[in-house]
Amino acid sequence: MSSFSLSIEELKQTAASEQRRSAVRAQIDTAVERQTRDQKPYIEFLLRDLTSSFVLRVWNDHPFYPAARELRDGSFVEIEGEFSINSAYGLEAKNWTMRHLTTEEQNDLLAGPSEVREKQELDSANLLIPFETHAYALYAGCSSTSLEIASGEQPARGTIIMLDVADWSNTLLK
């Protein structure tokens, strides 16, 4: 199947303007067997990634229907097909195939889109910079927590206290 897949949100945006062949990776949130008004069985999957979700209906005459009946909540899959937006049902897939994701692909999906991962890494790096030169303590005001500043006074609830690393280490050793 596809070596490149879109997030569900990206797929919705793309499909809103044009029908195109794409792949999307998702986790099955729910899998429910239903029946049409004519009593024909189908399966309704709620597929989700970190950006959005959509419903995929697997009709009983689809080649993947027997395999789809075996899928359970929490399964990780890739759907490749022709996606478009239907005014009544939202995102729909036609001429699609499905496969299970590998463990590595599951981990990538759970980590989120690359833009989100890059932002998280940058935010994490920015948060760690102060800890190289200072240690921080947040006084929560709990009865089990007693932190006194140099003057001997207890800081106000929610006060952030900044100490040099050396001072913090000395405070912990006392």
| Paired tokens of 51 | 């950006």
Task: Give the residue extent of every domain in the chain.
Answer: 8-112, 130-173
For the beta carbon of residue 106, count every other beta carbon within 10 angstroms: 16
Handedness of CA 121, 124, 130, 134 (dihedral sign): negative
| Paired tokens of 15 | 């499909």
Alpha helix positions (H), 5-113: 8-17, 65-68, 103-111
- Global pTM value: 0.65
Residues linked to residue 81 through DSSP beta bridges, in sequence order = 22
The per-residue pLDDT for range 65-77, each reduced to its tens digit, is 999 999 999 999 9
Q: What is the mean pLDDT of the chain?
A: 78
DSSP class of residue 70 equals T
Question: Would the pLDDT of 151 be above 80?
Answer: no
The per-residue pLDDT for range 21-76, each reduced to its tens digit, is 999 999 999 999 999 999 999 999 999 998 999 999 999 999 999 999 999 999 99
Question: Would the pLDDT of 166 be above 60?
Answer: no
CATH number at 8-112: 2.40.50.140
